[in-house]
Amino acid sequence: MSKDPKLAHRPWLDPEAEPYIKIQGITKRFGDFTAVDNVDLDIYKGELFCWLGGSGCGKSTLLRMLAGFETPTAGKIFIDGVEMNDIPAYERPVNMMFQSYALFPHMTVEKNIAYGLVRDGLDKATIQSKVEEIIDMVELTQFSKRKPHQLSGGQRQRVALARALVKQPKVLLLDEPLGALDKRLREQTQYELMNIQDQLGVTFIVVTHDQEEAMTLSTRIAIMDKGKFIQTGTPTEIYETPDSRFIANFIGSANIFEGHVVESGKEHVLVRSTRDQSLFYIDHGSDLQENAKVWVAIRPEKIKISKSPPEQSDHNQLIGTVDDIGYLGKLSNYKVLLDNGKIIDITYPNQVRPKSGDHLVDWEEKVYLSWDASSAVVLTH
C-alpha cells in the first residue's frame, strides 16, 4: 500500500501500485457474435469496482471469464500476478455470488455457509469458528438454525454473501447482488456490503445495471456498452465529467445542446448553440478546433432558475416559461420551455418547506435560467 495516505485509497493514481487484477485484451465470441470485445482493465487490491451497463452488454460474460466458468476467445486475465487462463474455476482465488443466491433449501443458514468448508475437508472446530465469525459479521446469528424459506430476501442475500466470504477469497464477484431486494432494503444492504468489504479488505467486483447502486458502492465504475468499456472513473469523475453524450444520459440525466466552437483556449471554450445562437462559456480548456461540432451537457441540478433576470451577460443564460413542475418531496423537477421549443430540465432541492401549493416558480411563469461556467461539459461525441 502507498505511503502517501491520499494514494492509499486511490491506488489507481499511484504509478508504483501494481494492479491486483489485470484484464488484457479479453474477447469472448459466441459464434459470430462478440459479447466482450477486446477489453483492458486494471483493478487494485481492496477496490469495490462496479461494472455498469444495460442488459446484454457483456457484463456477466466478463465476470464469468474472471471466475473461470467461461473461456476467453482471446486475451489474458491475471490475478495477483498469476495468469488465470489455464487455471480451473475451483482453483482460482475468486468466489462468485450469483443473482439467484443458489442457497440449498434443505440446509440451515449455518450449514449453507459451512458447505464449502466441509467440502474442502476442514476440521470441525475450524469450520465452526469460521462460520460463527462470518455469521456474526453479517448479523445473522439469531437466524443460524433457520432454513432459507424462513428468511426475508435481504437475510437470504446475506447468507449468500457469508457463504461466499467464508472461504476468504481474494476476489469476490457479485452478479447483481441486490437485484432481488426492494428499494429500501437495497439501500440498507448497500451500506452493509460496503462495511463488510471494508472490514475484510477483499477486492469486490460488482456487476449491476443500477446506476445509483454503482454510484453508492464503488471506488470506481467502468461503464460497459456493446462488449466494451467506454469510460472508467470514480463515481464523481463519471458523473461530473462524462466523456460522451451516451454517458451523460446513462448516468443521471443531462440537458444537451448542440453547437459549434467559437473560441477554444487553455482555460475556456466558447460554444454557440446551433438551435438559437445562445452562447455557452465553459471554464475548462480544450484543444478543440474553431468551428468543430460539439455538444454542451449541463446537469439539471446545476441550473439556477429565477423570476428576475440574472446579472447581464451574453452567455450561460436562457429565458423560457415553466411548462411542468414535479414535486418529489426532497426535490422538485421543473421543465422549462425555451422560445426555440427545447425543454430544459432543472432539479431543485426543497430546502425550505413551501406553503401549500406554493412553488419556487409557477406554471406558465417567465423564468431566467443561468449556470456557472464550471458546470457545463463539452463533449465531442
Contact 379, 295 (CB under 8 A): yes
Residue 60 engages ligand ATP in binding (rule: CB under 6 A): yes
Kind and range of the H or E run holding 317: strand 317-327
Min separation Cβ 50 and ligand ATP, Å: 13
Q: How far is the CB of 6 from ligand ATP (least distance, A)?
A: 34
Q: Which is nearer to ligand ATP, 50 or 369 (CB)?
A: 50
Rule CB under 6 A: choose which of 25, 56, 309, 354 binds ligand ATP. Answer: 56
Classify residue 315 by its DSSP letter.
Answer: B
Pairing of strands 220-225, 48-53: parallel
Position 163 contacts ligand ATP (CB under 6 A): no
Interatomic CA distance for residues 2 and 186, integer angstroms:
33
Q: Please tell me what DSSP assigns to residue 17.
A: P
Closest to ligand ATP by CB, 56 vs 354, is 56
| Cβ distance to ligand ATP smaller for residue 204 or 334 | 204
Near ligand ATP by CB under 6 A: residue from 26, 35, 221, 360: 35
Query: What is the helix (H) or strand (E) element at residue 230, kind and residue range?
Result: strand 228-233
Residue 177 in contact with ligand ATP, rule: CB under 6 A: no
Report how far Cα 171 is from the mean position of its chain's Cα atoms. 19
Q: Verify binding: residue 72, ligand ATP, rule CB under 6 A.
A: no
> Least distance in Å: CB of 30 to ligand ATP?
3
260 grid coordinates: 459549434
Contact 97, 177 (CB under 8 A): yes
Least spacing, CB of residue 10 vs ligand ATP, in Å: 27
The window from 50-58, 163-171, 229-237, 325-333 that contacts ligand ATP (CB under 6 A) reads 50-58
Least distance in Å: CB of 78 to ligand ATP?
A: 21
Beta bridge partners of 69: none
Of the candidate residues 39, 43, 52, 59, the single one contacting ligand ATP (CB under 6 A): 59
The CB-nearest residue to ligand ATP is 60
Give min distance, CB of 224 to ligand ATP, in A: 7
Cβ distance to ligand ATP smaller for residue 57 or 269: 57
Q: How far is the CB of 209 from ligand ATP (least distance, A)?
A: 5
Please enumerate, as own/partner, the contacts of 17-22 that have beta carbons within 8 Å and a separation of 24 or more. Answer: 17/44, 18/81, 19/43, 19/44, 20/44, 20/45, 20/47, 20/79, 20/80, 20/170, 20/171, 20/203, 21/66, 21/77, 21/78, 21/79, 21/171, 21/203, 21/205, 22/76, 22/77, 22/78, 22/79
Q: What is the C-alpha separation between 72 and 223, in angstroms, rounded?
A: 20
- List the interface residues with ligand ATP, window 187-226 (CB under 6 A): 209
174 forms part of the interface with ligand ATP (CB under 6 A):
no
Q: What angle do CA 49, 54, 55 make, to 5 degrees?
A: 110
Q: Is 53 in the site for ligand ATP (CB under 6 A)?
A: yes
Q: What residues line the site for ligand ATP (CB under 6 A)?
A: 30, 33, 35, 53, 55-61, 209
